[in-house]
Structure 1
């Protein structure tokens, strides 16, 4: 093909047909430009196809991570609800008159902590590639709200409860149990003496407030997950 155009160009020059040569040269330039534009368009199509494939794959992984996070948070929330109910019963005056076993049982619900580790690898990979890879602006914002805001808040709330366990509850129970292990508060010989201490009630009420705040954070975080999942494309699990 190149030889064919070169032959035409040489013949026009030999015949001294400059006007036709000029038109030919312009036409040749136009063909080159069209070829470049077609090549660029094909390249853009390939890049868009790659970006779409990456977006679908990364969102599919994030979707799976969010579902697992939601399951973990629901389980933590169940424990926190039980701990809050137990705290309310322990704080109430009516429960103080109940027997030692009942008090110990409820205290066992209160004195524990949970940890939450969000699955963030896929989201971090998305951030490295650029959040603009996700075309849906509302979905981008929702992902940021969950991973960069809600996760931090819920972990802060849970860490407050863990701090109370390690630095408030443990010293108290170790002082009242000769061989302390988790939930060995059931073996405390004098529950009335244990609850008579001012620190016990202060810590109990503080812990109750921390649990209440934790439950609110857990629910907000679960709501953020549900909103984000509702914005995910419907065809993520398809092979198309």
Structure 2
């Protein structure tokens, strides 16, 4: 093809048809430009197509991660609500006679629940961390999804984790030491929660106010964190809805 055009140019120059040659040359340049533009358009189309495919993969991975978090956070909220209900029975300044009248079996069951309902929510942040470390955010076109993701992972999750670590310390050290060392109940965690060593109503009554004091400290923190989890659940569900809409496009 190139030889064909060259022969035409040479023939025009030989025949002194400069005007025609100039017109031909301009036409040839235009054809070349058009060819380049077509090639660039095809290349851009392929890049856009690849970017759209990668964005969809990102959305699918985020959706899977968020759906798992949604299930876990709901279970954690339910556990926290049980924990708050149990704590509520012992936090009044006056002794709760209902608790003091429990027989040994029911008392030990109460204390087992009492000391083991402060379970943590551990979010799955792997996909988000991979996105932020590999500039994957550039492939997400929705500014609202970007904003909600940043708020969820960089603010809400971290705020929850900071307070949760304090609650965990309270449950397993300060409250736990009263239950284990003074009241005398020991609980095993595998494969399920079981009582390895029981306490007695006498020991429970003896250390009642000390246990109640620890319960009051935890109650406020656990209540605040439960509200955090509710807001987290709302953010997760909003993101799930938006991402599903993006995948359908």
What's the CA shift for 1:161? 1.6
**Structure 2 match to 1:16:** 16
**Structure 2 match to 1:31:** 31
**Structure 2 match to 1:204:** 215
**Structure 2 match to 1:108:** 112
Q: Does 1:121 align with 2:145?
A: no
The C-alpha deviation readout for 1:157-197, integer Å capped at 9, x for no partner, is: 32222110222022222322557335567424521101143
Contact 2:185 2:199 in 1 (8 A): no
**Structure 1 match to 2:161:** 155
What's the CA shift for 1:129? 3.2
What's the CA shift for 1:63? 0.6
SS of 2:245 mapped into structure 1: coil
Distance in 1 (CA, whole Å) between partners of 2:98 and 2:28 is 101
Q: Does 1:214 align with 2:225?
A: yes
Distance in 1 (CA, whole Å) between partners of 2:223 and 2:184 is 32
Q: Does 1:192 align with 2:205?
A: yes
What's the CA shift for 1:59? 0.4
Distance in 2 (CA, whole Å) between partners of 1:179 and 1:86 is 17
Moved beyond 3 Å, runs of 4+ = 100-107, 177-186, 233-236
**Structure 2 match to 1:168:** 174
Q: Which runs of 5+ in 2 are unaligned?
A: 189-194
Q: Does 1:130 align with 2:133?
A: no
Go from structure 1 to structure 2 and tell me whether the alpha carbon gap of 1:185 and 1:149 turns closer, same or farther (over 3 Å shift): farther
Say how many residue pairs are matched.
236
What's the CA shift for 1:104? 4.3
The range that moved more, 43-52 or 107-116, is: 107-116
RMSD: 2.3
Distance in 2 (CA, whole Å) between partners of 1:196 and 1:120 is 41
Go from structure 1 to structure 2 and tell me whether the alpha carbon gap of 1:173 and 1:234 turns closer, same or farther (over 3 Å shift): same
Q: Does 1:146 align with 2:152?
A: yes
Distance in 1 (CA, whole Å) between partners of 2:136 and 2:88 is 47
Go from structure 1 to structure 2 and tell me whether the alpha carbon gap of 1:132 and 1:43 turns closer, same or farther (over 3 Å shift): same
The C-alpha deviation readout for 1:194-231, integer Å capped at 9, x for no partner, is: 1143xx23211011111101101110100100111121
**Structure 1 match to 2:87:** 87
SS of 1:187 mapped into structure 2: coil
